[in-house]
Amino acid sequence: MGNNVKMQDMGYQIGAQTNRTSVAGTLIDFAPEADQFAIVGATEKITLNTDHYDAGVKYTDLASRNFGEVPLRTPLWPNIAGLLFNAVFARNSDGTLDYHTVRRWWRSAIGGTEDKGEEFRGVIFNSVSLSISRSQSNAAISFDAAGFFNAKRRLTDAETNPTPDLSKPFAYGTAGVLIDFVHDEDVDSYGADDQQVQSVSLAFSNNCTLDGVQDNIADPPLHRSWLTHITGNPTIEVNVTVRLNDDGYVRIDEFTEVPKGKLRIAFTHPRATTITSTSTISSGTTSTQTLNVSSTTGFSVGDIVCITHPTTGFTIAKITAISAGVSLTVSGYDTRVTLDGSTGGPLTIRNMSCGITIDSMDFESRSAPQRAGAFQVINLRYMATLKAGATFPLEALAYDHDNSRL
Protein backbone atom coordinates (compact mmCIF):
# COMPACT_ATOMS: atom_id res chain seq x y z
CA MET A 1 0.00 0.00 0.00
CA GLY A 2 1.28 3.45 -0.92
CA ASN A 3 1.26 6.85 0.69
CA ASN A 4 -1.83 8.94 1.32
CA VAL A 5 -2.75 11.51 -1.31
CA LYS A 6 -2.57 14.82 0.56
CA MET A 7 -5.19 17.56 0.63
CA GLN A 8 -3.71 19.66 -2.19
CA ASP A 9 -1.93 16.98 -4.24
CA MET A 10 -4.64 17.09 -6.90
CA GLY A 11 -4.02 18.76 -10.25
CA TYR A 12 -6.24 19.13 -13.31
CA GLN A 13 -5.83 19.45 -17.08
CA ILE A 14 -8.41 19.94 -19.83
CA GLY A 15 -8.45 19.89 -23.63
CA ALA A 16 -10.81 19.44 -26.59
CA GLN A 17 -11.18 16.09 -28.38
CA THR A 18 -11.92 15.49 -32.07
CA ASN A 19 -14.65 12.92 -31.31
CA ARG A 20 -16.30 11.08 -28.41
CA THR A 21 -13.72 8.31 -27.95
CA SER A 22 -10.46 10.08 -28.82
CA VAL A 23 -8.16 11.89 -26.40
CA ALA A 24 -7.30 15.59 -26.46
CA GLY A 25 -4.10 16.37 -28.34
CA THR A 26 -3.35 19.40 -26.15
CA LEU A 27 -4.10 19.69 -22.45
CA ILE A 28 -4.11 22.95 -20.45
CA ASP A 29 -3.48 23.08 -16.71
CA PHE A 30 -6.11 24.76 -14.57
CA ALA A 31 -7.04 25.03 -10.91
CA PRO A 32 -10.72 24.34 -10.13
CA GLU A 33 -12.34 25.42 -6.90
CA ALA A 34 -11.59 22.92 -4.16
CA ASP A 35 -13.79 19.82 -4.39
CA GLN A 36 -16.02 21.44 -7.06
CA PHE A 37 -14.81 19.56 -10.17
CA ALA A 38 -16.22 16.38 -8.70
CA ILE A 39 -16.30 14.03 -11.69
CA VAL A 40 -17.30 10.54 -10.59
CA GLY A 41 -18.99 7.70 -12.41
CA ALA A 42 -22.64 6.80 -11.95
CA THR A 43 -23.92 3.28 -12.60
CA GLU A 44 -27.41 1.86 -12.87
CA LYS A 45 -28.25 -1.79 -12.51
CA ILE A 46 -31.05 -3.95 -13.84
CA THR A 47 -32.73 -6.53 -11.63
CA LEU A 48 -34.89 -9.39 -12.85
CA ASN A 49 -37.89 -10.40 -10.76
CA THR A 50 -37.91 -14.15 -11.33
CA ASP A 51 -39.30 -17.38 -9.90
CA HIS A 52 -36.18 -19.39 -9.14
CA TYR A 53 -37.06 -21.88 -6.39
CA ASP A 54 -35.91 -19.51 -3.65
CA ALA A 55 -36.52 -16.14 -1.99
CA GLY A 56 -34.60 -13.02 -2.95
CA VAL A 57 -33.03 -11.62 -6.10
CA LYS A 58 -31.00 -13.99 -8.26
CA TYR A 59 -30.16 -11.98 -11.41
CA THR A 60 -28.68 -8.47 -11.61
CA ASP A 61 -26.59 -6.82 -14.29
CA LEU A 62 -25.15 -3.44 -15.27
CA ALA A 63 -27.86 -1.41 -17.00
CA SER A 64 -25.88 1.70 -17.92
CA ARG A 65 -23.13 3.98 -16.72
CA ASN A 66 -22.17 7.67 -16.84
CA PHE A 67 -25.70 9.00 -17.43
CA GLY A 68 -25.50 11.14 -14.28
CA GLU A 69 -24.69 14.85 -14.55
CA VAL A 70 -21.52 15.94 -12.72
CA PRO A 71 -20.37 19.38 -11.45
CA LEU A 72 -17.64 21.10 -13.47
CA ARG A 73 -16.94 24.27 -11.51
CA THR A 74 -13.82 26.39 -11.86
CA PRO A 75 -12.80 30.04 -11.62
CA LEU A 76 -12.83 31.71 -15.04
CA TRP A 77 -9.09 31.64 -15.80
CA PRO A 78 -7.72 33.66 -18.75
CA ASN A 79 -5.81 30.68 -20.17
CA ILE A 80 -8.95 28.52 -20.57
CA ALA A 81 -11.71 31.14 -20.94
CA GLY A 82 -12.13 30.50 -24.67
CA LEU A 83 -12.19 26.73 -24.20
CA LEU A 84 -14.86 26.99 -21.49
CA PHE A 85 -17.05 29.42 -23.46
CA ASN A 86 -16.86 27.24 -26.58
CA ALA A 87 -17.56 24.10 -24.55
CA VAL A 88 -20.96 25.29 -23.38
CA PHE A 89 -21.98 28.11 -25.78
CA ALA A 90 -20.85 26.72 -29.17
CA ARG A 91 -22.42 23.93 -31.22
CA ASN A 92 -21.05 22.05 -34.20
CA SER A 93 -22.83 22.02 -37.56
CA ASP A 94 -24.67 18.84 -36.58
CA GLY A 95 -25.90 20.42 -33.35
CA THR A 96 -23.54 18.53 -31.04
CA LEU A 97 -21.22 19.95 -28.40
CA ASP A 98 -17.45 19.49 -28.40
CA TYR A 99 -16.04 16.59 -26.39
CA HIS A 100 -13.27 17.16 -23.87
CA THR A 101 -10.63 15.27 -21.96
CA VAL A 102 -10.15 16.04 -18.26
CA ARG A 103 -7.21 14.59 -16.36
CA ARG A 104 -7.19 14.52 -12.57
CA TRP A 105 -3.64 13.92 -11.34
CA TRP A 106 -2.20 13.06 -8.00
CA ARG A 107 1.04 12.29 -9.87
CA SER A 108 3.39 10.13 -7.78
CA ALA A 109 1.85 11.01 -4.42
CA ILE A 110 0.89 7.41 -3.67
CA GLY A 111 4.25 6.14 -4.90
CA GLY A 112 5.51 2.79 -6.13
CA THR A 113 3.56 1.23 -8.99
CA GLU A 114 0.26 2.85 -7.97
CA ASP A 115 -1.86 4.89 -10.40
CA LYS A 116 -1.05 8.56 -10.88
CA GLY A 117 -4.58 9.73 -11.49
CA GLU A 118 -7.73 9.43 -13.58
CA GLU A 119 -8.61 10.46 -17.13
CA PHE A 120 -12.16 11.31 -18.18
CA ARG A 121 -12.95 11.34 -21.89
CA GLY A 122 -15.98 12.47 -23.84
CA VAL A 123 -16.77 15.25 -21.36
CA ILE A 124 -19.54 17.58 -22.55
CA PHE A 125 -20.62 20.81 -20.84
CA ASN A 126 -24.42 20.90 -20.74
CA SER A 127 -25.07 23.98 -18.60
CA VAL A 128 -23.44 26.84 -16.75
CA SER A 129 -24.34 29.47 -14.17
CA LEU A 130 -22.51 32.78 -13.94
CA SER A 131 -23.02 35.27 -11.11
CA ILE A 132 -21.64 38.78 -10.89
CA SER A 133 -22.20 40.78 -7.72
CA ARG A 134 -20.96 44.35 -7.49
CA SER A 135 -20.00 44.92 -3.88
CA GLN A 136 -17.22 46.55 -1.88
CA SER A 137 -14.55 44.09 -2.98
CA ASN A 138 -13.44 42.15 -6.03
CA ALA A 139 -14.42 38.47 -6.23
CA ALA A 140 -13.37 35.74 -8.66
CA ILE A 141 -15.97 34.87 -11.28
CA SER A 142 -16.92 31.22 -11.06
CA PHE A 143 -17.73 29.24 -14.21
CA ASP A 144 -20.24 26.98 -12.47
CA ALA A 145 -20.86 24.33 -15.12
CA ALA A 146 -22.33 20.83 -15.19
CA GLY A 147 -22.17 18.07 -17.76
CA PHE A 148 -21.49 14.44 -18.54
CA PHE A 149 -18.50 12.24 -19.28
CA ASN A 150 -18.35 9.12 -21.44
CA ALA A 151 -15.45 7.04 -20.12
CA LYS A 152 -13.02 6.96 -17.19
CA ARG A 153 -9.53 5.58 -17.70
CA ARG A 154 -6.51 5.04 -15.45
CA LEU A 155 -3.41 7.20 -15.42
CA THR A 156 -0.99 4.43 -14.55
CA ASP A 157 2.49 4.68 -13.09
CA ALA A 158 3.85 4.50 -16.66
CA GLU A 159 2.43 7.96 -17.42
CA THR A 160 4.82 10.92 -17.37
CA ASN A 161 4.05 13.40 -14.64
CA PRO A 162 3.00 16.79 -16.06
CA THR A 163 4.95 19.95 -15.32
CA PRO A 164 2.15 22.29 -14.22
CA ASP A 165 1.68 25.53 -16.15
CA LEU A 166 -1.22 27.05 -14.25
CA SER A 167 -2.66 30.47 -15.02
CA LYS A 168 -0.16 33.18 -14.07
CA PRO A 169 -2.72 35.89 -13.28
CA PHE A 170 -5.76 35.79 -11.01
CA ALA A 171 -9.09 34.73 -12.49
CA TYR A 172 -11.46 37.24 -14.07
CA GLY A 173 -13.02 39.26 -11.27
CA THR A 174 -16.24 41.14 -10.64
CA ALA A 175 -14.37 44.47 -10.42
CA GLY A 176 -13.53 44.19 -14.12
CA VAL A 177 -17.05 43.50 -15.37
CA LEU A 178 -19.04 45.97 -17.48
CA ILE A 179 -22.83 45.52 -17.63
CA ASP A 180 -25.19 47.12 -20.13
CA PHE A 181 -28.76 46.28 -19.10
CA VAL A 182 -31.87 47.32 -21.05
CA HIS A 183 -34.98 46.50 -19.00
CA ASP A 184 -37.38 47.31 -21.88
CA GLU A 185 -36.14 47.63 -25.46
CA ASP A 186 -39.10 49.89 -26.35
CA VAL A 187 -37.87 52.66 -24.03
CA ASP A 188 -34.10 52.13 -23.90
CA SER A 189 -31.16 50.94 -26.01
CA TYR A 190 -27.60 49.67 -25.58
CA GLY A 191 -25.00 52.12 -24.31
CA ALA A 192 -22.58 52.42 -21.42
CA ASP A 193 -21.85 50.39 -18.31
CA ASP A 194 -24.86 50.71 -15.99
CA GLN A 195 -23.51 51.38 -12.51
CA GLN A 196 -27.02 51.06 -11.07
CA VAL A 197 -26.94 47.30 -11.70
CA GLN A 198 -25.92 45.62 -8.45
CA SER A 199 -25.83 42.02 -9.62
CA VAL A 200 -26.52 39.75 -12.59
CA SER A 201 -26.89 35.99 -12.70
CA LEU A 202 -27.27 33.78 -15.77
CA ALA A 203 -28.38 30.16 -15.79
CA PHE A 204 -27.83 28.69 -19.26
CA SER A 205 -28.65 25.15 -20.39
CA ASN A 206 -28.22 23.24 -23.64
CA ASN A 207 -30.91 20.84 -22.35
CA CYS A 208 -28.95 17.79 -23.48
CA THR A 209 -30.22 14.23 -23.38
CA LEU A 210 -28.05 11.12 -23.68
CA ASP A 211 -28.93 8.09 -25.75
CA GLY A 212 -27.67 4.66 -26.70
CA VAL A 213 -26.13 1.83 -24.66
CA GLN A 214 -23.96 -0.90 -26.15
CA ASP A 215 -21.78 -3.75 -24.95
CA ASN A 216 -18.07 -3.11 -25.41
CA ILE A 217 -16.03 -5.95 -23.96
CA ALA A 218 -12.98 -4.97 -26.00
CA ASP A 219 -12.84 -1.52 -24.33
CA PRO A 220 -14.37 -1.87 -20.83
CA PRO A 221 -14.46 1.88 -19.96
CA LEU A 222 -16.96 2.31 -22.81
CA HIS A 223 -19.04 -0.75 -21.85
CA ARG A 224 -22.70 0.35 -21.61
CA SER A 225 -21.84 4.02 -21.46
CA TRP A 226 -23.89 6.40 -23.60
CA LEU A 227 -23.21 6.58 -27.34
CA THR A 228 -24.49 10.01 -28.30
CA HIS A 229 -25.88 13.25 -26.94
CA ILE A 230 -28.72 15.32 -28.33
CA THR A 231 -28.87 19.04 -27.64
CA GLY A 232 -32.28 20.58 -27.03
CA ASN A 233 -33.45 24.15 -27.44
CA PRO A 234 -31.16 26.27 -25.23
CA THR A 235 -32.66 28.36 -22.45
CA ILE A 236 -31.30 31.16 -20.27
CA GLU A 237 -32.73 32.45 -17.01
CA VAL A 238 -31.49 35.96 -16.20
CA ASN A 239 -31.83 37.75 -12.88
CA VAL A 240 -30.82 41.40 -12.61
CA THR A 241 -30.82 43.39 -9.36
CA VAL A 242 -30.87 47.16 -9.89
CA ARG A 243 -31.10 50.17 -7.65
CA LEU A 244 -34.57 51.66 -7.73
CA ASN A 245 -33.84 54.79 -9.76
CA ASP A 246 -36.44 54.37 -12.53
CA ASP A 247 -40.19 54.00 -12.00
CA GLY A 248 -40.24 51.87 -15.15
CA TYR A 249 -38.80 49.03 -13.08
CA VAL A 250 -41.87 48.85 -10.83
CA ARG A 251 -44.36 49.38 -13.69
CA ILE A 252 -42.92 46.75 -16.00
CA ASP A 253 -45.44 44.12 -14.88
CA GLU A 254 -48.36 46.39 -15.83
CA PHE A 255 -47.74 46.31 -19.58
CA THR A 256 -50.30 44.75 -21.92
CA GLU A 257 -47.53 43.00 -23.86
CA VAL A 258 -44.58 41.06 -22.50
CA PRO A 259 -41.64 43.51 -22.34
CA LYS A 260 -38.37 42.38 -23.87
CA GLY A 261 -35.04 43.20 -22.30
CA LYS A 262 -31.44 43.08 -23.47
CA LEU A 263 -28.14 42.43 -21.73
CA ARG A 264 -24.46 42.78 -22.55
CA ILE A 265 -21.65 41.71 -20.22
CA ALA A 266 -17.94 42.35 -20.79
CA PHE A 267 -15.27 40.63 -18.70
CA THR A 268 -11.96 42.54 -18.60
CA HIS A 269 -8.69 41.81 -16.83
CA PRO A 270 -6.18 44.19 -15.22
CA ARG A 271 -3.25 42.32 -16.84
CA ALA A 272 -4.51 43.13 -20.34
CA THR A 273 -2.53 45.02 -22.97
CA THR A 274 -4.10 48.47 -23.39
CA ILE A 275 -3.88 51.06 -26.17
CA THR A 276 -5.98 54.07 -27.23
CA SER A 277 -7.45 55.12 -30.58
CA THR A 278 -9.31 58.09 -32.01
CA SER A 279 -10.98 55.95 -34.67
CA THR A 280 -14.71 55.18 -34.80
CA ILE A 281 -16.35 51.79 -34.38
CA SER A 282 -19.84 51.50 -35.88
CA SER A 283 -22.79 49.29 -34.97
CA GLY A 284 -25.06 47.44 -37.36
CA THR A 285 -22.32 45.73 -39.37
CA THR A 286 -20.14 42.64 -39.21
CA SER A 287 -17.80 43.99 -41.89
CA THR A 288 -14.16 44.92 -41.41
CA GLN A 289 -13.50 47.98 -39.22
CA THR A 290 -10.08 49.48 -38.64
CA LEU A 291 -8.81 51.06 -35.42
CA ASN A 292 -5.70 53.18 -35.89
CA VAL A 293 -3.30 52.87 -32.96
CA SER A 294 0.20 54.02 -32.04
CA SER A 295 1.37 50.48 -31.22
CA THR A 296 0.17 46.93 -31.79
CA THR A 297 2.63 45.31 -29.39
CA GLY A 298 0.93 42.79 -27.12
CA PHE A 299 -2.04 42.19 -29.44
CA SER A 300 -2.57 39.11 -31.61
CA VAL A 301 -5.03 38.00 -34.26
CA GLY A 302 -7.82 36.13 -32.48
CA ASP A 303 -7.73 38.30 -29.36
CA ILE A 304 -11.08 39.39 -27.99
CA VAL A 305 -10.91 43.07 -27.10
CA CYS A 306 -13.09 45.35 -25.01
CA ILE A 307 -13.39 48.81 -26.57
CA THR A 308 -14.66 51.58 -24.32
CA HIS A 309 -15.51 55.24 -24.80
CA PRO A 310 -15.25 57.51 -21.74
CA THR A 311 -18.98 58.37 -21.83
CA THR A 312 -20.94 56.69 -24.61
CA GLY A 313 -20.42 52.98 -24.11
CA PHE A 314 -18.40 49.83 -24.64
CA THR A 315 -18.30 46.88 -26.99
CA ILE A 316 -16.62 43.51 -27.44
CA ALA A 317 -14.91 42.65 -30.72
CA LYS A 318 -12.51 40.13 -32.27
CA ILE A 319 -9.18 41.11 -33.85
CA THR A 320 -9.02 39.52 -37.30
CA ALA A 321 -5.99 41.34 -38.74
CA ILE A 322 -3.10 43.51 -37.56
CA SER A 323 -1.00 46.03 -39.45
CA ALA A 324 2.10 46.10 -37.27
CA GLY A 325 2.48 49.40 -35.46
CA VAL A 326 -0.41 50.94 -37.42
CA SER A 327 -3.85 49.44 -36.83
CA LEU A 328 -6.05 46.67 -35.44
CA THR A 329 -8.83 45.25 -37.61
CA VAL A 330 -11.99 43.81 -36.12
CA SER A 331 -14.77 42.02 -37.98
CA GLY A 332 -17.35 39.26 -37.84
CA TYR A 333 -19.51 40.61 -35.01
CA ASP A 334 -21.95 43.47 -34.63
CA THR A 335 -20.59 45.84 -31.98
CA ARG A 336 -24.18 46.94 -31.08
CA VAL A 337 -23.03 50.51 -30.32
CA THR A 338 -21.22 53.24 -32.26
CA LEU A 339 -18.19 54.67 -30.46
CA ASP A 340 -16.50 57.77 -31.85
CA GLY A 341 -12.96 58.09 -30.54
CA SER A 342 -12.48 61.54 -32.05
CA THR A 343 -15.33 63.09 -30.03
CA GLY A 344 -15.00 62.91 -26.27
CA GLY A 345 -12.50 60.11 -26.72
CA PRO A 346 -10.13 58.48 -27.18
CA LEU A 347 -11.29 54.87 -27.24
CA THR A 348 -9.51 52.46 -24.91
CA ILE A 349 -8.80 49.01 -26.37
CA ARG A 350 -7.98 46.10 -24.04
CA ASN A 351 -7.35 42.50 -25.00
CA MET A 352 -7.72 39.59 -22.55
CA SER A 353 -11.51 40.15 -22.61
CA CYS A 354 -14.67 38.06 -22.92
CA GLY A 355 -18.25 38.99 -23.66
CA ILE A 356 -21.84 37.73 -23.56
CA THR A 357 -24.71 39.41 -25.41
CA ILE A 358 -28.41 38.52 -25.11
CA ASP A 359 -30.37 40.61 -27.61
CA SER A 360 -33.84 39.44 -26.61
CA MET A 361 -35.18 38.14 -23.31
CA ASP A 362 -38.78 38.01 -22.13
CA PHE A 363 -39.74 39.60 -18.83
CA GLU A 364 -41.00 37.02 -16.31
CA SER A 365 -41.39 38.68 -12.92
CA ARG A 366 -40.12 41.30 -10.50
CA SER A 367 -39.60 41.44 -6.77
CA ALA A 368 -40.86 44.00 -4.32
CA PRO A 369 -38.37 46.78 -3.53
CA GLN A 370 -36.05 45.86 -0.69
CA ARG A 371 -33.10 47.33 1.17
CA ALA A 372 -29.55 46.67 0.08
CA GLY A 373 -27.20 48.76 2.18
CA ALA A 374 -28.07 52.43 1.70
CA PHE A 375 -30.37 51.81 -1.29
CA GLN A 376 -33.62 50.22 -2.29
CA VAL A 377 -33.19 47.61 -5.02
CA ILE A 378 -35.49 45.50 -7.16
CA ASN A 379 -34.90 42.15 -8.86
CA LEU A 380 -36.08 41.59 -12.42
CA ARG A 381 -36.25 38.08 -13.89
CA TYR A 382 -36.16 37.28 -17.61
CA MET A 383 -36.09 34.17 -19.79
CA ALA A 384 -34.29 33.92 -23.12
CA THR A 385 -35.27 31.07 -25.41
CA LEU A 386 -34.49 30.08 -28.97
CA LYS A 387 -36.73 32.18 -31.20
CA ALA A 388 -38.18 30.87 -34.47
CA GLY A 389 -35.63 31.38 -37.24
CA ALA A 390 -32.75 32.09 -34.84
CA THR A 391 -29.73 29.86 -34.34
CA PHE A 392 -28.85 30.65 -30.70
CA PRO A 393 -30.22 32.89 -27.91
CA LEU A 394 -26.90 34.54 -27.06
CA GLU A 395 -23.55 35.54 -28.53
CA ALA A 396 -20.41 34.67 -26.58
CA LEU A 397 -16.87 35.79 -27.37
CA ALA A 398 -13.75 34.57 -25.54
CA TYR A 399 -10.28 33.19 -26.19
CA ASP A 400 -7.45 31.48 -24.32
CA HIS A 401 -4.78 34.00 -23.34
CA ASP A 402 -1.60 31.94 -23.16
CA ASN A 403 0.72 32.30 -20.16
CA SER A 404 3.65 32.91 -22.51
CA ARG A 405 2.16 36.31 -23.39
CA LEU A 406 2.37 37.56 -19.80
Q: 108 near 161, Cβ under 8 Å?
A: yes
Question: pTM for this one?
Answer: 0.95
C-alpha distances (whole Å) from 330 to each of 137, 301, 361 are 33, 9, 27
User: How confident is the prediction along the chain (406 residues), in pLDDT tens digits per residue?
Assistant: 789 999 889 999 999 999 999 999 999 999 999 998 989 988 999 999 999 999 999 999 999 999 999 999 999 999 999 999 999 999 999 999 999 999 999 999 999 999 999 999 999 999 999 999 987 799 999 999 999 999 999 999 999 999 999 999 999 999 999 999 999 999 999 999 999 999 999 999 999 999 999 999 999 999 999 999 999 999 999 999 999 999 989 888 888 888 999 999 999 999 999 999 999 999 999 999 999 999 999 999 999 999 999 999 999 999 999 999 999 999 999 999 999 999 999 999 999 999 999 999 999 999 999 999 899 999 999 999 998 888 899 999 999 999 999 9
Which helix H or strand E contains 88, and what residues bound it? helix 81-89
How buried is 277 (Cβ within 10 angstroms: 0-12 exposed, 13-18 middle, 19+ buried)? buried
Q: Which distant-in-sequence residues (6+ apart) come within 8 Å of 99 by Cβ?
A: 16, 17, 18, 19, 20, 22, 121, 122, 123, 124, 150
